Amino acid sequence: MARTSSSHLSNKSPFRTATLWLIWGWLLIFALLPNLLVIAVSFLTRDNSEFISLPVNIDSYLRIIDPLYFDVFVHSLWMAGITTVICLLLGYPFAWLVSKAKARWQPLLMMMLILPFWTNSLVRTYALKLLFANNGLINKTLLAIGVIDTPIDILYTQGAVIAGLTYLLFPFMVLPLYAVFTDLRNDMLLASQDLGASKTQTFWHVVLPLTTPGIISGVLLVLLPAMGMFYVADILGGSRNLLVGNIIKNQFLDARDWPFGAAASVLLTLAMAVLLLAYRASSRRIGKTDFSEVA
Partner 1 sequence: MTDSPVNVPVTATPSHANSSSDNPDIIDIRATDVLLQLTGLKKTYDETEVLTDINLNIKRGEFLTLLGPSGCGKTTLLRLIAGFEQPTAGAISLEGVQMAGLPADKRPVNTVFQQYALFPHMTVAQNVAYGLKIKKVSKDEIQTRVRDMLAMVQLEHLANRKPQDLSGGQQQRVAIARAVVNRPKLLLLDEPLSALDHKLRLQMQSELKRLQRELGITFVFVTHDQEEALSMSDRIAVMKDGKFQQIGTPIEIYETPANLFTAKFIGETNLFKAEVKGVYPQQPDRDGQVTNGRIEVEVCEAQAQDGPTTLRNLRRPNFANEVQVGDIVNLLLRPEDLRIYEADDNTHSGLLGRVIESNYKGSTLDSIIELHNGHIIKASEFFDEDDPSFDYKLNEAVKVSWVDGWEWVLPDDNSVNDKTDNESDSDIYIGKAVSTTVQKDIS
Q: What are phi and psi of 47, to 5 degrees?
A: -140, 130
Strand partners, 47: 51
Q: Does 155 bind partner 1 (CB under 8 A)?
A: no
Between the CA of residue 153 and those of 119, 129, 137, 158, what are the distances in Å? 27, 12, 13, 11
Interface with partner 1 in residues 62-81 (CB under 8 A): none
Q: Does 187 bind partner 1 (CB under 8 A)?
A: yes
Q: Between residues 207 and 223, which has the closer beta carbon with respect to partner 1?
A: 207
66: left (phi over 0), alpha (psi -120 to 50) or beta: beta
Q: Does 243 bind partner 1 (CB under 8 A)?
A: no
Q: Between residues 25 and 209, which has the closer beta carbon with respect to partner 1?
A: 209
- Stretch binding partner 1 (CB under 8 A), from 29-37, 153-161, 167-175, 283-291: 283-291
- Stretch binding partner 1 (CB under 8 A), from 11-19, 172-180, 181-189, 261-269: 181-189
Q: Does 254 bind partner 1 (CB under 8 A)?
A: no
Nearest Cα residue to 56 out of 244, 262, 251, 250:
262
- Pairwise CA distance, residues 35 & 29, whole Å: 10
Contact map string, positions 197 to 236, toward partner 1, x by CB under 8 A: xx--x---xx--xx--------------------------
Interface with partner 1 in residues 70-129 (CB under 8 A): none
At how many degrees (to 10) do helices 208-228 and 258-285 cross?
170
- Pairwise CA distance, residues 241 & 72, whole Å: 8
Q: Between residues 57 and 201, which has the closer beta carbon with respect to partner 1?
A: 201
The number of residues that bind partner 1 (CB under 8 A) is 20
Task: Yes or no: say if 244 and 72 are a contact pair by the CB < 8 Å rule.
Answer: yes
Q: Does 287 bind partner 1 (CB under 8 A)?
A: yes
The amino acid that residue 226 corresponds to is: A
* Nearest-approach distance from CB 103 to partner 1, in angstroms: 17
- Pairwise CA distance, residues 215 & 217, whole Å: 5
Interface with partner 1 (CB under 8 A), residue from 185, 255, 270, 290: 185
Applying CB under 8 A, the residues found at the interface with partner 1 are 185, 187-188, 190-198, 201, 205-206, 209-210, 285-287
